[in-house]
Amino acid sequence: MAGAWPAAAPYQHRHTLEHMKRSYDSLSTFIEPTDRPAFRFHDEKKPISHRTLRGFVDNFTLPIPYAERGPSVRKPVVCIALSNGPILAAVCLAVANRYIAGPVSPAVGAAQFEADVLQSGASCIVTTRADADRLGLEHKFSSSWVGMRKMAVFLVNDRDGQRKALVPERRATAAKQTDDIAIVLFTSGTSGTKKLVPITVQNIVSGVSFVMESWGLTERDVCLNMMPLHHIGGLDIVEQLDLTWYYASPTMHQMILDAADIRQEALAKSRIRLVCNAAGGWLILLAQRLRGTFGCAVLPSYGACPSQLHPSRISWIDLARQALRWDPTWQYWTRKEHCWFLGRWEEFVTAFTSDGWFDTGDIGYLSDDGWLFITGRTKEVINRGGEIISPFEIESAIVSAAKDPNSSISSRVDQALAFSVRHAVLQEVVGVVLFTPPGARRVDLRQLHQALRLSLQQAK
Tens of pLDDT, residue by residue over 90-115, are 999 999 998 999 988 888 778 888 88
Greater confidence, 240 or 95?
Answer: 95
Q: What is the pLDDT of residue 283?
A: 66
Alpha helices, H only, 99-234:
110-120, 129-134, 145-148, 159-165, 201-215
Residue 208 has what pLDDT?
A: 82
What pLDDT digit, counting tens, does each position of 333-379 carry?
666 555 555 555 555 555 666 666 776 766 666 677 766 666 666 55
One fold for both 307-377 and 382-452?
no
- What's the confidence (pLDDT) of residue 305? 39
Asked if residue 12 lies in contact with residue 5, where contact means CB atoms within 8 angstroms, the answer is no
What confidence tens digit (pLDDT) does each residue in 155-168 have?
887 554 343 333 33
Classify the C-alpha dihedral 97-99-102-105 as positive or negative: negative
136-to-142, 155, 408 alpha-carbon distances in Å: 11, 13, 20
Q: Which of 327-336, 364-373, 420-429 has the lowest mean pLDDT?
A: 327-336
The domain ranges of the chain are 26-199, 216-299, 307-377, 382-452
307-377 falls under which CATH superfamily? Luciferase; Domain 3 (2.30.38.10)
Angle, vertex CA 453, rays to CA 447 and CA 454, nearest 5: 130
Q: How far apart are CA 305 and CA 340, in angstroms?
A: 19
Query: Mean pLDDT of all residues in the chain?
Result: 74
Which conformational region is residue 340 in: left (phi greater than 0), alpha (psi within -120 to 50 degrees), or beta? beta
Q: What percent of the chain has pLDDT over 70?
A: 63
> How much is the average pLDDT of 121-129?
89
Does the structure show a pLDDT above 70 at 188?
no
- For 26-199, CATH gives 3.40.50.980
**pLDDT bracket for residue 432 (50, 70, 90):** very high
Q: Cβ–Cβ contacts within 10 Å for residue 402, how many?
A: 23
CA-based nearest residue to 97, from 176, 213, 170: 176
The CATH class, in words, for 216-299 is alpha beta
**Superfamily (CATH H level) for 382-452:** ANL, C-terminal domain (3.30.300.30)
User: CB under 8 Å to 58, separation ≥6 — which residues?
Assistant: 28, 97, 168, 171, 172
